[in-house]
A and B are shown apart, each in its own frame.
Chain A
């Protein structure tokens, strides 16, 4: 059974239909990357899965349960956690408070303040610092740590490398690689950097104007194929295994 199954999801932004009858599924332990140009509907898709954006129609099934009507905090309780675009930390709360609040309101599991700090040791000296005073890379680390504190079985990472220096991105993906290796956390990653996406994910989906333009395993897809699908050129769309 797929961990996450999205069936014919439609999501609107005012008069614009950002996600059009979108369907895909994610298996437990898989890492899926979603790529696409700005405005392709990636963030709206994520927000709809997390619950902060209402689905106009369609079904979202998580671990077999229909969660389409559940509010976001209940989806967190079910096991979905999102690292939102722009991090969205609570600026006046310290790093430890940001982590604690997620821990208090999330699920029980292996992730706790101690283990998260073990996984993200760069945060240890920063626990008492208000989140608003951190650098971009530090904030991203806190954001990921905060999502982990909910002990999710599905982790949604929206544009985590946006605005970070190459070193910070490198360090970030090292942490994510460890997570991937443990095999316990299923991840969906929205990523602008195609190389990263292909290198990190098992499967890649390319979105264009709210629909799937191309889908396939990272190993099988070539860069020209993805580029064509990305920009909507020619008849390259379809599934490739």
Chain B
């Protein structure tokens, strides 16, 4: 049970990396990228390509794939997403969903349906663990994933708080027009945010491939998990995605103790529950608030 709890927390690290990109896109561009999971899988396939065809070490391949994914994000935003953002919220959802279909089936066509994994390439890291007292074992890979997640989020936080780009990003997400009026090129900021988001997706995909098996159609499931983590942790909060990821990971981990289906079901139920609770709280607040006003008027 304790094992499951710890595994769940560490799983949260993976979800945090995956969800951070989604959250960034939504926060800065008000844009829900339904192809985010598929982009993560694409990143994983690129790393696999680097390892199997180019003979790179997995970590080197990951490092090499990051700028590739960032460039892809830059281009996608400039050529595709920016044009759909003017069409209300319908067009971006339709476009990214179509893009996801293209990616999934394209990857199937290129790489076939074989399930792949990076687990073979990282040697014993995929199952090695540290033995702690009280019969607890900490998997080395999950811990590394978690640590990197924290480093990545901290890095993002520092970027946003202290750099020129970070300020531009924050301004653009608060008020794109006012940002333009102070000289910020909103289009470039959007491209930069998309580049970071897609690079993060690729990183997450690589970690997924290290601990599990992936296939061309694995994207949508990951997207749902990422979205669940974002919503559970609170939309708009960077560290919220870590907390959301952890809560999701823990619930999934504990759920899997019951049965394999409960792994997924626990997350879905929690997500729907959190949504429901938020709706109820909003509803109650709007009614409660009114009562407060009346009281004050007397």
**Those of B5-42 within 8 Å (CB) of chain A:** none
> B178 near A90 (CB under 8 angstroms)?
yes
How does the 8 Å CB contact mask read for B242-258 relative to A, with 1 for contact and 0 for none?
A: 00000000000000000
Q: Roughly how many angstroms separate A106 CA and B168 CA in the complex, as a whole number?
A: 12
User: Are A72 and B164 neighbours in the complex by a CB distance under 8 Å?
Assistant: no
The B-contacting residues of A in range 55-100, CB under 8 angstroms, are 71-73, 76-77, 81-82, 84, 88-93, 97, 100
Say whether A51 faces chain B, with CB atoms less than 8 Å apart.
yes
* Residues of chain A contacted by B185 (CB below 8 angstroms): 71, 73
Residues of B contacting A73 with CB < 8 Å?
180, 183-186
Q: How far is the CB of B31 from chain A (nearest CB, A)?
A: 20
Q: Are B177 and A150 in contact (CB under 8 A)?
A: no
Q: DSSP majority for the B interface?
A: helix
Q: Are B182 and A150 in contact (CB under 8 A)?
A: yes
Asked whether any CB of chain A lies closer than 8 Å to the CB of B171, the reply is yes
How far apart are the CA atoms of A60 and B180 in the complex, in Å?
A: 18
Q: How far is the CA of A91 from the CA of B175 in the complex (A)?
A: 9
| B170 on the A face (CB < 8 A) | yes
Interface residues of B in 123-146 (CB under 8 A from A): none
A188 at the interface (CB under 8 A from B): no
CB distance from A134 to the nearest CB of B (A): 15
Residues of B within 8 A of A76 (CB): 181-183
In the docked arrangement, what's the CA distance between A91 and B178, Å?
A: 11
Rounded to whole Å, the gap between the CB of B179 and the closest CB of chain A is: 8
B180 touches A101 (CB 8 A): no
The answer on a CB contact under 8 Å between A106 and B167 is no
Q: Which 3 A-B pairs have the closest CB atoms?
A: A105-B183, A76-B183, A72-B180
A→B interface (CB under 8 Å): 50-52, 71-73, 76-77, 81-82, 84, 88-93, 97, 100-102, 104-106, 146-147, 149-150
